[in-house]
């Protein structure tokens, strides 16, 4: 139940790796007991060459202002 709440309520901007293929959040890692584990995917998500969306553009899209 807690995992579903964490997954449904989680939102991170693209600049912070928000939509990087469904990577688990810190909250999800804590609930799963993996908060002390760092994997290769935590550091290198494979999206280092993608263009970074502007924070304001992303907020406008999220809040449907555009």
pLDDT digits (tens, 9 = 90+) for 5-64: 887 777 766 666 665 555 677 788 888 888 888 888 777 767 667 777 788 888 888 888
The span from the CA of 10 to the CA of 26, in Å, is: 10
Residue 49 is part of which domain span?
A: 2-62
pLDDT value for 16: 65
Residue 66: band (very low, low, confident or very high) from pLDDT cuts 50, 70, 90: low
The domain total for the chain is 1
pLDDT value for 27: 81
Distance of CA 26 to the CA centre of its chain: 9
pLDDT value for 19: 58
pLDDT value for 59: 83
User: Long-range pairs for 51-56 at CB < 8 Å and ≥24 separation?
Assistant: 52/14, 52/15, 53/13, 53/14, 53/15, 55/13, 55/15
Handedness of CA 5, 9, 13, 16 (dihedral sign): negative
């Amino acid at each position: 139940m807690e995992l579903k709440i964490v997954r449904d309520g989680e939102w991170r901007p693209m600049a912070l790796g928000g939509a990087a293929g469904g990577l688990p959040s810190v909250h999800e890692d804590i609930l799963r007991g993996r908060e002390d584990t760092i994997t290769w995917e935590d550091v290198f998500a494979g999206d280092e060459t993608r263009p970074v969306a502007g924070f304001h553009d992303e907020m406008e899209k999220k809040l449907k202002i555009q």
